[in-house]
Amino acid sequence: MVNRTGTYVAFDGLGETDPTKSDFKYYATLQAWAENKDIEFNITNSHEKASAVRDTSKKATLEKSIMERLRGSKNMLVVLSDDTRNSGSMLSFEIEKAVDLYELPLIIAYVGYEYVINVDAFSKLWNPKELRKKIEDNVVKAIHIPFKKEPILDAINQFTVNSDAKLTSSKNYYNLDAYKQWGLFKQ
């Protein structure tokens, strides 16, 4: 039996080799939070638990590495931005395998927002189309949050394949009280 302790972070590389021109910068933000001793942010990163591959590797090599990382993951953090593509990235493959094969709960984090309380208002960002279909068909267990440290940390620690806290549908979200506690919702 595989020890499923990692969080698999998924994002669209946007076909860029320069990470500053892609959604990789949000992954780098997570790493910076985790490394900063002044910030309470602990994440067991599935990408650091398997051998590294480059996006220029052969597709079969990439897919094999992705599968290895997903196998050891307890959940998947999907970072969505205005730039996330509808198709043409490995993100579709990652989401499909995470949900269909490994039954990982998804933590869907939207860049540029303070809170998420009306999930359907974010439907224009449900890319790639594999993600959109899984949300609309209610075949994925997911929570929708802003790309902010506090809700990300809470969700990755709470919603896992190993925990009793279970997501009930594809459109779960935190209530306003949670965002107020985190200082993200100001009246």
Render 80-135 in DSSP notation, one character per residue.
E-TT--SSSSTHHHHHHIIIIIT-PPEEEEETT-S--S-GGGGGGG--SHHHHHHH
pLDDT for 57: 57
> What is the pTM assigned to this prediction?
0.90
The answer to which of 17-21, 50-54, 64-68, 88-92 has the lowest mean pLDDT is: 50-54
Ramachandran sector of residue 138 (left: φ over 0; alpha: ψ -120 to 50; beta: rest) = left
Domains along the chain with CATH numbers: 8-43+73-181 (3.40.50.11200)
Most distant CA pair in the chain, distance = 50
Q: What are the pLDDT digits (tens) for 99-127?
A: 999 999 999 999 999 999 999 999 999 99
Which residues in 100-112 are b (16+ Cβ under 10 Å) and which e? eebebbbbbbbbe
pLDDT for 50: 44
Q: Between 110 and 47, where is the model more confident?
A: 110
